[in-house]
Amino acid sequence: MKAIQISETGGHEVLIYKEVEEPKLSDYQALLDIKAIGVNYTDVYTRTGMTPSELPVIPGVEAAGIVLRTGNGVTEVTEGDLVSYTGAMGSYAERAVVPSWRLVKVPDGLSAESSAAAMLQGSTAHYLSHTIYPIGEGDTCLVHAGAGGVGLLLIQMAKTSGGRVIATVSTDEKATLAKEAGADHVIIYSREDFLSRVMQITDNKGLEVVYDAVGATTFEQSIGCLKQRGIMVLYGQASGHVPPISPSILNPKSLFLTRPSLAAYTSTRDELLMRANDVLGWVKTQTLHLRIHDQYNLKDAAEAHRQLEGRLTTGKLLLIP
């Protein structure tokens, strides 16, 4: 089968499209014929070595496909099912073996492309807005990268829950998309100081929660945006690692800081299904609107990474085997 394989960490050139052995099926696993693959920043971390992996490795942790075969003990899916998943390495390939408990049946009428686009980023937006800090009436949140894949979904979920949303973006085009998703205020951070604007918008009261996937370049000011007992949710690091900090920076306003992962919020099948079924159901009924920025052939994974790292995307990127 064809796949993208990484034999050394580095730039886009290490994403090699080649013939590899089909993965072997074991008990409690399913072999999938992959139809659509989600591209995520965690794939960049794998490629660059920011997230260490045993090499060689097939990157990618999200896809949708048809179940070809199942191993002994599999009860969650059957052959012929269209399923989607996140949280299992090896999706940049024509076929993948996935633990069966990670697989979610795609609702009738929903495409492989839509389900692959929704699983990781939709489930991330779900645990951010429904679990870490459940947004409610009267709450105001800041969503960084508001025109990104997670950002656009997070804005919609926060608004559906009754919250007020302030989003940051880098361009006028992205500002339009964030507004269309429902953001009440959009700050173009390349022109405005977002901390000053947030305090102006909130009459110097600050925010209940900041959702920050950017990291190094936004962290300090994000902390400054919070009100007393506010929650700083650092769920990504697109601009790099946040330098070491002293816990004492949280003390003046008794702030909370968390660095969560999707794995920790989908660690059981019940929790995985709760989030995935909500997200896929909302996409099917168009309660939640997906934006697929572009689709690339699997062999062009390097270009997809260039687009993602260059902040040239608005919404989701997919690879198609």
Rounded CA-CA distance 145/157 in Å is 15
pLDDT at 315: 83
Domain around 79: 2-120+268-320
Tell me the pLDDT band of 314, cut-offs 50, 70 and 90: confident
79 found inside a domain? yes
269-to-79, 100, 105, 277, 285 alpha-carbon distances in Å: 20, 10, 13, 11, 23
Contact 268, 246 (CB under 8 A): no
131 found inside a domain? no
pLDDT in tens, 114-124: 999 999 999 99
pLDDT in tens, 31-90: 999 999 999 989 999 999 988 899 999 999 999 999 999 999 999 999 999 999 999 999
Q: Domain check: are 229 and 198 in the same one?
A: yes
Q: Domain check: are 149 and 230 in the same one?
A: yes
Q: Whole-model pTM? A: 0.94
Say which amino acid occupies 206: G
Rounded CA-CA distance 12/29 in Å is 31
Tell me the pLDDT band of 320, cut-offs 50, 70 and 90: very high
22 found inside a domain? yes
User: Which CATH number does the domain housing residue 171 bear?
Assistant: 3.40.50.720
pLDDT at 313: 83
Nearest CA to 152 out of 133, 174, 171, 136 is that of: 174
Cβ of 112: how many Cβ atoms within 10 Å? Answer: 21
Tell me the pLDDT band of 238, cut-offs 50, 70 and 90: confident
User: Which CATH number does the domain housing residue 36 bear?
Assistant: 3.90.180.10
Total domain count, the chain: 2
